[in-house]
Structure 1
Amino acid sequence: MCNSDSPNEFAQKLDNYIDSLPNKKENLIAILHYAQEIYGWLPDNVQWHIAQKLDIPSAKVYGVVSFYSYFTMKPRGEHVVNVCMGTACFVRGAEKLKNELENQLKIKAGETTPDNLFTLETLRCVGACGLAPVMIVDGEVHGKMHEPQEINEVLAKYRPEG
């Protein structure tokens, strides 16, 4: 999400994207992905706008947003930290990794730090089983995360003073 854009510029970007699609209604998920990319989340007013633009019930948009765990109706932090809780990661210490992240960030999974810098989330499996346990920050995979110091070093790269 670009911080220099105003809400009207976000809406214009979204409208331009929707208008560029040949089969708008069939591309609801792609539209939601794009909207979340530019807004950072999918608040009610954005969902309603998409429904109006596609001429579909807003309940259908809400249903898709609430069904898929990728979509969020709450603002996320500048950096999203995901912990893989798949079987390989779990047996190799994913719960300990999640607990350490909660301790270092002073939030629980599903929450955002008060400064809006980090959001901590869990995922089922990211397919990097050989690197278990795995954490992903803004799409960058960090594997074999066993030690608190290693976790701290990764987080430090995303902090303003980092």
Structure 2
Amino acid sequence: MSLLKGLLEGIHMPEEAAEKIIQLEKEIDYEKLKPMVSKLYERKVWQEGLEELKTELGEDPKGYKILTCMLTAALDTYKIYKEKGIQDKIFYDTFGCFSRFVKEHLASYGSYGFDRCWWTPRQLSMEEFRLGELEFELEKWKGENVISVHIPSDAKLTKENCQASYK
């Protein structure tokens, strides 16, 4: 099994979307895109990297090309998780946002797709992590380091779940 297939299984990507991603992985020259993708790891140049990628990838009406690039980049992020001793569960829970967004596209538009590339550099750059039901993002606010808390659309907000996430 390829590493990308393993990732897609680990984040529970819908089969129809996973098949398109695996096909695009064979067609996209990821090495050529690495300089643009590398910008997705640094907050101050996220937008620049996204715009360059979109231009280079061309027509991408359902967002599968950029999704494939981001998930390929997630394999590099996974290596850093391993180096830092971060549990696989945290990685898969965090990167599960990609599958969640693909499923939300289906609910909104009647077909699988990906339209949240503006959000997911947070996960690629390891600035946002899902811990239990909540997501925690490292940010600066008025020059201070802060942690923003996000509530994913699939979160089950019970007192116990929230307490476990904070713990």
Superposition TM-score tier, normalisation by shorter sequence: under 0.3
Q: Comparing both chains, which one has the higher relative contact order based on Cα–Cα distances under 8 Å and sequence gaps of 6 or more? A: 2
Q: Larger radius of gyration, structure 1 or 2?
A: 1
